Amino acid sequence: MTAPAFRTVPGDGGPLRVAVVGAGAMGRAWLAAVAASPDVELACVVDVDPSVARAAADAAGATGVPTGADLTALAAATDPDAVVDVTVPEAHLPVTLTAFELGLPVLGEKPAAATLPEALCLAAAAELSGLLFMVSQSRRYNAELTRFRDETRRLGRLGILTTEFFRAPRFGGFREAMPHPLLLDMAIHPFDTARWLLDAEPVSVYCQEFNPSWSWYAGDAATTALFEMTGGARYVYTGSWCSPGLETSWNGAWRASGERGSAVWDGDHAPAAEVEGEAEAEGAPPAPPAARVAEGIDGALAAFVHALRTGTVPRGEIHENVMSLAMVASAVLSARTDRRVLLADVLATARAEAAELAEAEVRDILLAHGRGR
Ligand SMILES: NC(=O)c1ccc[n+]([C@@H]2O[C@H](COP(=O)([O-])OP(=O)(O)OC[C@H]3O[C@@H](n4cnc5c(N)ncnc54)[C@H](O)[C@@H]3O)[C@@H](O)[C@H]2O)c1
């Protein structure tokens, strides 16, 4: 889907005023990011539980900032320029639609929505309102990852990209109870990164999930997914959330295999590459030091502000980001049905479901997307 133009917020040189909605664990991290950024100013904090909103604002040092449970009322009182949505995935659809009704662009936590049809509704609603909806895929904002991508560009055509993700976190709470915990809660990060590294979109997937006998998760905590990407490259993700010992980084361990060489990245340190024809004595040309850029959610916040100020379409804009959620939905479907799944089929089904959910004007846009617009 092509990203449409969106309304900019030119500003008068002052910071962008944001309402942070959702003040849980990640909401507190966003409040710290907002406090640290010279580009933004906190207008208000919203949470369905107003005491949670107050406590999080106070903990972030924002003692005078209004808090409460009602975004519409707080927006009327504090006049924000944008919403940062850090609610649970089930609330991403209603919170984003409320923000659009208020004429406010949204920077939302991943995933775009709880389901692919809901995310497609939000893409159409963003188009209808002329407002930016950007999803924060925070792991893409990483200087070493950018260097790894640069290294892969020295390898000629890319054939295989792999991610290995082996960790053993004891989260407690919803992750240990939910179905498909690894695919739904974590794998969207590397799936999104793989699209960016390969500069390609997913065509099909075959995925198997299972739960090791010693797993402390109710849902399947281990998976292998094989994606065919446009241009013919294959992306293979293998991961487990109950894999103690020699754990990989939270970014996973990556390897890219191309026609002239290979590149690896352990997710934490500098990447390395070997390219055919480069004399061993010479070694690879030393990679330039990573440029200092805002990383993680700081990077996403900076990109959101830049986009609103300039009209530049950011990474994570909903029309682009929806394909990362489509990878997750397709992998889950493949694992459930034990067959290779075509992304185009999953998107067509999701679009039809989205049209049933949506109001008439949003439905017209979804139908136009279905006709290839
Ligand atoms: N990028 C990352 O690395 C990363 C890490 C953790 C979580 N996340 C994402 O961040 C989001 C929040 O996760 P979390 O761990 O902070 O969850 P959490 O449960 O700790 O907090 C969510 C908060 O949202 C509030 N909320 C729920 N519905 C709401 C609504 N309609 N309006 C206002 N507030 C509402 C809840 O009361 C709660 O305080 C999720 O989408 C999650 O996937 C991303």
Cα pseudo-dihedral 20, 26, 31, 35, rounded to 10: -140
Cα–Cα distance for residue pair 152/262, rounded to 1 Å: 7
Q: Which of 74, 87, 193 to mutate to test the pocket of ligand 1 (most atoms within 8 A of CB)?
A: 87
Cα–Cα distance for residue pair 255/257, rounded to 1 Å: 7
**How is residue 214 written in tokens?**
């010693």
pLDDT of residue 294: 82
Contact between 263 and 271 under an 8 Å Cβ cutoff? The reply is yes
Q: Cβ(47) to ligand 1 under 6 A?
A: yes
Cα–Cα distance for residue pair 148/282, rounded to 1 Å: 20
Q: Which of 49, 71, 74, 88 to mutate to test the pocket of ligand 1 (most atoms within 8 A of CB)?
A: 88
pLDDT of residue 281: 46
Look at residue 31 and tell me whether its pLDDT is greater than 90.
yes
Count the neighbouring beta carbons within 10 Å of the beta carbon of residue 255: 14
How close is the Cα of 134 to the center of ligand 1, in Å? 16
Look at residue 287 and tell me whether its pLDDT is greater than 70.
no
Q: Cβ(24) to ligand 1 under 6 A?
A: yes
Q: Cβ(311) to ligand 1 under 6 A?
A: no
Amino acid at 316: G
Q: Cβ(108) to ligand 1 under 6 A?
A: no
pLDDT of residue 282: 52
How close is the Cα of 336 to the center of ligand 1, in Å? 27
Q: What pLDDT, in 10s, does the model give residues 315-349?
A: 999 999 999 999 999 999 999 999 999 999 999 99
pLDDT of residue 126: 96
The percentage of residues in the chain with a pLDDT greater than 70, rounded to a whole number, is 95
Give the residue from 243, 239, 126, 145 showing the smallest Cα distance to 185.
239
Q: Cβ(49) to ligand 1 under 6 A?
A: yes
CATH topology of domain 16-139+297-319+338-370: Rossmann fold (3.40.50)
Q: Degrees (nearest 5) of the Cα angle 264, 267, 273?
A: 20
**Hey, whose CA ends up nearest to atom 1 of ligand 1?**
138
Q: Which atom of ligand 1 is nearest the CA belonging to 89?
A: 41
Q: Cβ(95) to ligand 1 under 6 A?
A: yes
How close is the Cα of 25 to the center of ligand 1, in Å? 7
Q: Cβ(112) to ligand 1 under 6 A?
A: no
Contact between 36 and 28 under an 8 Å Cβ cutoff? The reply is no
How close is the Cα of 20 to the center of ligand 1, in Å? 11
**Hey, whose CA ends up nearest to atom 2 of ligand 1?**
138
Contact between 125 and 96 under an 8 Å Cβ cutoff? The reply is yes
Count Cα neighbours of 243 within 13 Å in the Cβ-side half-sphere.
21
Contact between 91 and 22 under an 8 Å Cβ cutoff? The reply is yes
Q: Cβ(145) to ligand 1 under 6 A?
A: no
Q: Cβ(178) to ligand 1 under 6 A?
A: no
pLDDT of residue 354: 93
How close is the Cα of 173 to the center of ligand 1, in Å? 13
Q: Does domain 142-275 have CATH number 3.30.360.10?
A: yes
**Hey, whose CA ends up nearest to atom 7 of ligand 1?**
26
Q: What is the CA radius of gyration of the chain?
A: 21
Q: Give the model's confidence band at 360: pLDDT under 50 very low, under 70 low, under 90 confident, else very high.
A: confident
Q: Cβ(110) to ligand 1 under 6 A?
A: yes
Give the residue from 372, 370, 373, 350 showing the smallest Cα distance to 114.
350
Q: Cβ(52) to ligand 1 under 6 A?
A: yes
Q: Cβ(33) to ligand 1 under 6 A?
A: no
Find the range with the poorest average confidence among 124-128, 173-177, 235-239, 348-352: 173-177
Domain ranges for the chain: 16-139+297-319+338-370, 142-275
Count the neighbouring beta carbons within 10 Å of the beta carbon of residue 335: 22
Distances (CA, A) of 51 to 43, 56, 82, 124: 17, 9, 23, 34
Look at residue 37 and tell me whether its pLDDT is greater than 50.
yes
